[in-house]
Structure 1
Amino acid sequence: MESFFTTSDKIQHIIKSFNLTKTLFVSSIIIGDAHTGKKSLARYLFPNTPLVSGENQKEVQEALEENDELIITNFEKLSNQSSLDFTNKRIIATADYMGNQELIDDLFAFIYMMPSLSERPEDIEYLKNRFIKEACATLMMEEDAIESREIPLDLSKNSKSLKRSVFMHLMQENMEAKDIEGMLYHYLLKHLDGNDGYREYLGLYEKPLIQAGLKKFGSQLQLSQVLGINRNTLRKKIHEHNID
C-alpha cells in the first residue's frame, strides 16, 4: 500500500473528504503544482484502483470502458475532455493546473487544491529526512555523519527539486579531488569551445576557491596570504566573478 505523510491541514481536509465520499459514485480532481504528491495521495486513498495517465489518450478511453473506478493522472494533458462520460463512475483525477474551469465543474463533483511544498514545513522536514536516508543508502554513506541543517533546500519544483538538492549536497560534501577532477573533465569535454576557453572556464576553479576561502577565513587579507596572491589581485578577481 502506498504510504503518504502529511501534517498539512489542507491535505488532511482532502483525505477526510475522500473518506467520507468513498461509498458514493462521484468524481473528484486534485489540482496543484507538479511534484506536490497528488499521485501519491490518490494511490494512498485508492490503493487497488487502476491508474492511467492522461498522456495516453487511447489507454484512458479503454480504461474508462472497462472500469467503474479509475485514477487518471496528468488529466490536463487529455485533449478529449469534453467527450468524457463519468456517469455512474468514480474517477479520481490529478492535474497540474485547472484548464477549462467550466468543463472541470461539469465533470467533477469535488475539486481539491493541493498546496505546494513550501506551504507545508513539516512535510518538507519529513521528505528531507527520507531523501537523506535514500541518498545515504545509494551513495553508501554513514547517516550519522550528516548535518541535515546545513543542506540548502531547493523547493522550486517541490519534491523533485528537494530530492535533487539533498542528493547533490551529500555528493558534494563527500567528493574527493579525483571526483572533482572527473566531474570537471566531463563538463569541459561537453562544453569547451570558442577562442578564449581558458579564460572563460578558469572561473570554474577560481570562483569556488575564493568563495570558500572568504567563508572559511572571513578576511580578504588572510585569504590573500593563504592563496599566496596580492590583496589587490584578490580584490580584482572578486570583482570579476561578482562575488559578494
Structure 2
Amino acid sequence: MDAAKDLLKRAVELDTAQKYSEAMICYEQGVQNLLRQMKDTPSEGARKELRLRAEQYLERAEHLKQLIKEQERPAESVHSLRIAPGSTGYSYEAVFERCLDGNVHSVAVQDPYIRVRHQIYNFVRFCELLVKKCKKLSKISLTTTSGESPSESSQASSLTELQESLRERGVKLEVAYSPTLHDREIRFSNGWIVKLGRGLDYFQKLKGPFTIGFNDFDLRPCHETTIEMYHKLNVKSVKTQ
C-alpha cells in the first residue's frame, strides 16, 4: 500500500509540474498497485474505496495520454501553392476547397483591391462559394481600401447591394475601409488562414465575354502568384455574433 501511495503522490507532483509523460507512468503504476491491494482487502467497503480511487487516477492518466498526443502534433499545418503565369485550374473552389466545411461560421477577408468592377465581381464569386459550401455561415467581414477614381465610384453602392443580397440568405456582410491596408489575407473560423500574394485578383483579363474562361474560372489563365495556407490545429469554431 505504501508503494501505491508513494507512486500516486509522485504522479500528482509531476502532473502539477506539467511533466505529463512521467506523471502518466506513475499514475498507471500506482493504479496497478492499488488494484493488487484491493484483491487482498477483505472489507467490501475498503475495496469499494480503493476501486473509486483507482478509477479516478486512471481517468487522469487517460486524460494525460490524450494531452501528450496533442502536444506531439505540429502547431500548424502549412500548404504552399505556387501559381505559374498563364496556368489554369485555380478557381476559388479549387484553391479554397480544403478551407470550406460545415464548421465555418465566419470569414474575414483583408484585400486592399476590392475596388474596381472586376475586383468586386471576384469578391461576389468568392461570397457565392462561401454561401454554397459553408452551411452554417453567418458572417463575412471585408476590410479593403476606398476607391477614389471614376472607375471605382460604384464601389460603395456595389458592396451595399451585395450586403442586401447576403442578408436575404442569413449572412451578415461587414465592410470596413483602411487607407493603409496592404496585406492580403483570409481567415476562416475553422482555423484556416490563407495569405494571397495578389489577393483575390489573380486571374488574367480575357479578350472579351465570348472567350473560354470568362464564366468558368478553372479555365481562366492566372497571373503568377503564391498562396500560402496555414491551419492552427485544434482550433474550435466559434460562431461570431
TM-score (norm 2): 0.25
More strand by share: 2
Higher RCO (Cα < 8 Å, 6 or more apart): 2
- Give me the TM-score of the superposition, normalised by structure 1: 0.25
